[in-house]
Amino acid sequence: MQLDLLPDRTAGAAENMATDLLLLQRYPAPAHARFRHYDWRSPAFTFGFGQKIAYVSGQLDLLAPGEHLDLTRRPTGGGVVDHRDDWTFSLVIPRGHLLYDARATESYRRVHADLAAALRDQGRPVVLKDTCEASADDATCATGPTVCFIRPELHDVLHAGTGAKVAGAAQKRTKHGLLFQGSIARSALGDLDWEAFAGTFTSRLAATLGAEAVATPWPDFAEGELDGLAEQYSATEWIEYR
């Protein structure tokens, strides 16, 4: 297998989410895993597909009162994510790979284990959260609406000294593969060599996937496909879907 390392891009929230979904559903080399790091054109928040807009709006009033934000609903689940100072990435694992078939908690753990190891290589004392506060009859540790970086979930990356959440993610499985959207809090890590981290992280991911990491140019999607999907992600109907 090959792990395609795509070039960095900077875009608005809707375009970033649309791009991730196209990498999952329309990639011209579907047997390849693919990874990208991306930035945000302006202060942005995203929130999970299943979250209610009333809850999200209330959290934004607390987290960024009066601030003009680029906001959209993600294709994945998870909580409200503040992208104003994070290092964001997405990973697509193709259908048929062992991690595509694994339980969600296991794919989450494996990717975050590689992320944590790459941060430790940079001298950052991080660990995975290995327990959850679920009840005895809730083995999945499922929770209600959350704000990422405020309440850590099972297999999130934590600072070993303070217990602060360093990295979290959300996932979506379809017939095409598994989309993993991750966010790392820059403020929790201080002055980090992000280029070196990215190289180590992707090397570890490639080893976990049994793949060769290869720098790969952007694929050619169908004409107008990205623009049309980005328009959907920026529409009020999508953002206020629930």
The CATH classification number of 2-130+147-239 equals: 3.30.930.10
Residue spans of the domains in the chain: they are: 2-130+147-239
Residue-by-residue pLDDT tens, the chain, 242 positions:
999 999 999 999 999 999 999 999 999 999 999 999 999 999 999 999 999 999 999 999 999 999 999 999 999 999 999 999 999 999 999 999 999 999 999 999 999 999 999 999 999 999 999 876 554 343 445 555 566 556 678 999 999 999 999 999 999 999 999 999 999 999 999 899 999 999 999 999 999 999 999 999 999 998 899 999 999 999 999 999 88
Q: Quick one: 30 exposed, middle or buried, by C-beta within 10 A (0-12, 13-18, 19+)?
A: middle
